[in-house]
Amino acid sequence: MSYFASRLFQDARVLVGVTGGIAAYKSCELIRFLVDAGSEVRVMMTESAGRFITPLTLETLSRNPVFSELFPDSEFSGTHHINLADWAQAVIVAPATANFIGKLVNGIADDFVTTTALALSCPLVVAPAMNSNMWQHFSVQRNVAQLKENDVLICEPEEGFLAEGYHGIGRLARLEYLLQYLYRALHPEPNSLAGKTVLITAGRTEEPLDPARILTNRSTGKMGFALAVEAFARGARVVLVHGPTHVIPPRVDRLVGVQTAQQMLEAVEKHFDQADVFLSAAAVADFRPASSRPDKIKKENSEMSLQLVSNPDILATMGERKKPRQRLVGFAVETRQGVQNARKKLEVKNLDLVVLNNPGEPGAGFAVDTNRVTLLGKAGERVELPLLSKLDVARAVFEVLLKGSTDLANE
Ligand SMILES: Cc1cc2nc3c(=O)[nH]c(=O)nc-3n(C[C@H](O)[C@H](O)[C@H](O)COP(=O)(O)O)c2cc1C
């Protein structure tokens, strides 16, 4: 399970549409994730999709019959397409062909998938996948722009190696991105941060010692990435500044990769004034080597000592610069006297909310997909959360923040 294993997916009624592209096999991974996360999944597929992947595979994975015939011969046909459209809480068509997109824009309903898509009243995610020339064709681009204008969530394709044997844009977006958009489609408050800019730092910093060595910590960035997914799902403009990591960052409006604490400070300073909320989830190294050597340090003696100097305190610096309309959220990793130390941090750094976690607790802290935290607010609020996926922790953070900030919440 990933940090995406949110309660929002649990018991969610998700309809997955599969259309006739080479990426149809990738829909299996999406269905598996959703079933594993506790969603109720129904699948509909076009006739062409059946050329690429069998209904049996999708039926087995989703544990439900697959819908593909608008007029099935044998059984009572009824209005399955309407029933299914009414049943769904969110729909994702992945992969979506150029043909499907063209039909949807023009209101053509000539098979099960297109007819159901026209009958929806819930949010719809469309994840196109096709050859790069098809994707860049003026009619596809025009159709996609039209869908966006009509509030369809478009999870755009990626660049990379295509089935045709060359590189280009058109690959189906990876699973993490599909889930990011689907999470938004399922979110109960999708516009609660519309028009707001949310700035987030995530991950660790690396402080070079010499060309081969660094001083760093165990943070992977998952907590900060979960906050970015949450802010995106609430309709915010998201700026994400992150340190080195192997975890794929979510799709945001502005992604800035940095290495050192100094670089992270510079990136935050650049974007801070436009931000309505700043969440500092990065594990910034408190110290760095006094000097970074240009050549590799040789093993000359049996002992060596390093001289370290203080790094800038990014959160405290922003706390001093904060305007009344801005909200600041910090993370406190404490292994002792957590609440007391976290409250002190809240005051000293001029924060609105502090998220306290103890990495010593099972399932909490660095490099795991879950976290157990206590939220401490400026007005004395204290919310103790159970062990949750990092995405559910992120949702709780924004819930508490919005509750305490009438000027931030879009009523
Ligand atoms: C081998 C093969 C691969 C194809 N891959 C894609 C694709 O990735 N994306 C796409 O839009 N169309 C693709 N097509 C074309 C569609 O299958 C075709 O437009 C079909 O009518 C789509 O039907 P549907 O939208 O009802 O599923 C492919 C066709 C073939 C023969």
Q: Is the pLDDT confidence value at 411 over 50?
A: no
Same domain? For 67 and 86 the reply is yes
- Type of residue found at 326: Q
- Whether residue 410 has pLDDT greater than 70: no
Residue 140 falls in which region: left (phi positive, over 0), alpha (psi -120 to 50) or beta? alpha
The verdict on residue 4 lying in a domain is: no
Q: What is the CATH number for 98?
A: 3.40.50.1950
Q: Is residue 204 part of a domain?
A: yes
Are residue 219 and residue 178 in the same domain, yes or no?
A: no
User: Which tens digits make up the pLDDT trace of 330-356?
Assistant: 998 877 777 888 999 899 999 999 999
pLDDT in tens, 297-330: 888 878 888 899 999 999 999 999 999 999 999 9
| Bridge partners (DSSP) listed for residue 325 | none
Total of domains in the chain: 2
Q: Whose CA is nearest to atom 19 of ligand 1?
A: 99
Residues 203, 248 share a domain: yes
- Give DSSP secondary structure letters for 287-351: EEESS--SSPPP--SS-----EEEPP-HHHHHHHH--TT-EEEEEEE-SSSHHHHHHHHHHHTT-
| Structural domain contains residue 192 | no
Do 240 and 106 fall into the same domain?
no
Task: Report percent pLDDT > 70 for the chain.
Answer: 96
Tell which one of 16, 18, 22 to mutate to probe ligand 1, the residue whose CB is within 8 A of the most ligand atoms.
Answer: 22
Tell which atom from ligand 1 comes closest to the C-alpha of 98: 11
Q: Which atom of ligand 1 is nearest to the CA of 170?
A: 8
| Cβ neighbours, 10 Å, residue 246 | 6
Residue length of the chain: 411
Render 343-411 in DSSP notation, one character per residue: HHHHHHTT-SEEEEE-TTSTT-STTSSEE-EEEEETTS-EEE--SEEHHHHHHHHHHHHHHT-TTTS--
Residue 117 and residue 74 in one domain = yes
For residue 409, pLDDT over 60 is answered with no
For residue 409, tell me if it sits in a domain: no
pTM: 0.94
DSSP H/E element including 227: helix 222-233
Classify residue 203 as left (phi > 0), alpha (psi -120 to 50) or beta: left
Mark whether 312 and 284 lie in a shared domain. yes
Separation of CA 180 and ligand 1 centre (Å): 25
Catalytic residue, candidates 64, 131, 143, 217: 217
> For the segment 150-191, what is each residue's pLDDT rounded down to a tens digit?
999 999 999 988 888 889 999 999 999 999 999 999 999 999
Does 77 reside within a domain? yes
Does residue 408 lie in a domain region?
no
Domain that holds residue 133: 13-186
